[in-house]
Amino acid sequence: MDSEFGRAVRRRREHISPATVGLPTGGRRRAPGLRREELALLSGISVDYLTRLEQGRATSPSSQVVESLARALRLSDVEREHLFLHAGLSAPGPGVVPTRISPSVQRLLDRLANTPVVVYDAAWNLVVANRAYDALMGETSLLRGNDRNGVWRNLFGPASRARQTPEEHERQVELLVGDLRMAAARYVDDPQLHRLIDEMRSASIWFVHLWDTVADSPTTDQARHKIIDHPTVGPITVDCDTLVVAGDDLRIMVYTTEPGTDDAHRLDLAIVLGTQAIDAE
């Protein structure tokens, strides 16, 4: 039942060190590589689906799944191309929203392992979030389908832990829609992006109004100071800076506090407690 795609994923998983992907190396391990549970967590897919892929019982992974596995396994550009070919797919071309995190950007993210960081693509699809971000904002691995899109979530999803007035929320949605419209103009051949837009147009009169009226605007104009209502440690005032990786069209959102302040202590505590809770689950 094995497939070449499944064998390629399993070989790489069994030969990549946990330390390479920022995981702790303590404790007894029967094998030196990543556990299935660890790779599933890093790539944002279920353990059951990863098992079926490796065993050849699931044979048609989507482009998004292949990209997520390539990123989690830290594949080089050539290795990534081969993994797509094993899946019977071609790596996304220039007309599709890129989700590739280059090795140099990944090294930057690795250095921010203890700082809450989340990465979105140009269409505001969640690419990856680190453990510190999940501890602060809630587990992103639980998000599925359109809920992984920031525009969709702000229109239809549950409230974020980031405190907002109704006016602030409206302004944020306006900025996101303006930015999404610019992405749609750049990536005219991306069917997933245009399907998402069609679904939002069908589901929300407000989205249709914004799409037809708001000015094109990068979301870097949004407020940098946020109050996060953490369920365990209470409110934390943070700075949220959005860094744009121009060549890859990615948005890296970094949450920090002024060192030595009460907010810094609360953020550290939220990360410790949140990470422990995630590990316990």
pLDDT over 60 at 2, yes or no: no
pLDDT band of 221, cuts 50, 70, 90: low
Whether residue 158 sits in one domain with residue 247: yes
Beta strand 234-245 pairing with 225-230? antiparallel
Enter the tokens of residue 176. Answer: 């996101």
Euclidean distance between CA atoms 171 and 56, whole angstroms: 47
pLDDT band of 120, cuts 50, 70, 90: very high
Residue 271 lies in a domain: yes
pLDDT over 90 at 149, yes or no: yes
pLDDT in tens, 9-54: 999 999 888 878 877 666 666 777 899 998 998 888 889 999 999 9
Q: Could you tell me the residue range of the domain that residue 66 belongs to?
A: 4-86
Residue 276 lies in a domain: yes
CATH of the domain at 43: 1.10.260.40
Whether residue 118 sits in one domain with residue 71: no
Angle, CA 70 vertex, CA 68 and CA 74 arms, to 5°? 115
Whether residue 153 sits in one domain with residue 242: yes
pLDDT in tens, 240-263: 999 999 888 999 999 999 999 999
CATH of the domain at 189: 3.30.450.180
Query: Of the residues 35, 61, 86, which one is the last residue of a structural domain?
Result: 86
Residue 91 lies in a domain: no
Number of domains, the chain: 2
Residue 239 lies in a domain: yes
